Amino acid sequence: MAQAWRCSGLRWSAGGPVLVWDGGRRSALTWGKRVAFGVAEGGVRTCVGARGHACPTRAAVSARSTGARCEECARLDRAHSVAADTIADDPRPYRVYLAWFGPGMVKVGITAEERGSARLLEQGAVCFSWLGVGPLMAARRTEELLRAALGVPDRIPYAGKRAVRAVLPEAAADRAVEVAELHARAVALGGWPESLVREPLRVVDHVEVFGLTGLPGAVGEVGELVAGGVVSGELVAAAGPDLHLATAGGAVVLDTRLMSGWELVPAGGAELTVPVREFKEEAGVQDGLF
């Protein structure tokens, strides 16, 4: 029987996207690389636990869940989340940012200054600019100010992000327009917390980092993994948690968060056999699986 692996998720390093496996093994992903794995026959997707601790019941979780956690572990994980406003005394400085994912899709968010731009890569932001830096609660109040005064959301659905990656403006200057306009409106607002230091507009573009230049339009996305199913394709781009894979039936997007909780095995050159949800609108001993 082939050795099985459990995926801990996709991480972004200085060299690009990396798949991380339980135990710390890493698989660097490069454009043109064949990504191929199967789900163990008879396998069941189980909860990945919370805060570095295994799920005490190894509860079964939905194959379509991107969180891969049971209700109790999800609650525990959320209880220590800055995004959920459950931590108010974090002493670290935080940055407020504006992130652009495509035409009409700009969001405001915060991230710990020490993380640099990792949060933006993890979300698949095509370009972004910092707005300011300061204590956590000042950053949070600024985020709320922009949401209330300018109607800027703090979330952009992944379905929307995936739908436009192949049809983004070609010029970086054109991709930066909405961020620049919103940055100007934001800094002109009154009511900013005094402890938040405003930062000038400097738009950082991730099109080359993500490999989006010349990206073929995707025909659909993997809806879920299933026991005995196979994912196989040539990596053409990656953004956030998503891998864009060229397959015999066209380009398909795989959200790598769907991989967590499954036992995965090598699949050779097999074709894609897991369920794919079509987009409604379109323009031996092995050192890891890859």
b/e 272-289 (16+ beta carbons within 10 angstroms → b): bebebeebeeeeeeeeeb
What confidence tier does 85 reach under pLDDT thresholds 50, 70, 90?
A: low
pLDDT of residue 92 exceeding 50, the answer is yes
DSSP 3-state assignment of 230?
strand
Instruction: Give the count of beta carbons closer than 10 Å to the beta carbon of residue 15.
Output: 9
pLDDT of residue 288 exceeding 60, the answer is no
What confidence tier does 283 reach under pLDDT thresholds 50, 70, 90?
A: very low
Q: Tell me if the pTM is above 0.85.
A: yes
b/e 101-126 (16+ beta carbons within 10 angstroms → b): bbeebbbbbbbbeeeebebbbbbbbb
pLDDT of residue 83 exceeding 90, the answer is no
Tokens 């026991």 belong to residue = 227
Q: Per-residue pLDDT averaged across 14-29, rounded?
A: 92
DSSP 3-state assignment of 257?
helix
pLDDT of residue 165 exceeding 70, the answer is yes
Q: Which amino acid is at 47?
A: C
d(CA 211, CA 246): 13
Least confident range from 93-107, 186-200, 269-283: namely 269-283
Q: Supply the pLDDT for residue 271.
A: 86
DSSP state of 53: B
Output Rg (C-alpha) for the chain, integer angstroms: 20
pLDDT of residue 28 exceeding 50, the answer is yes
Cβ atoms 119, 111 nearer than 8 A: yes
Q: Supply the pLDDT for residue 48.
A: 95
d(CA 58, CA 45): 9
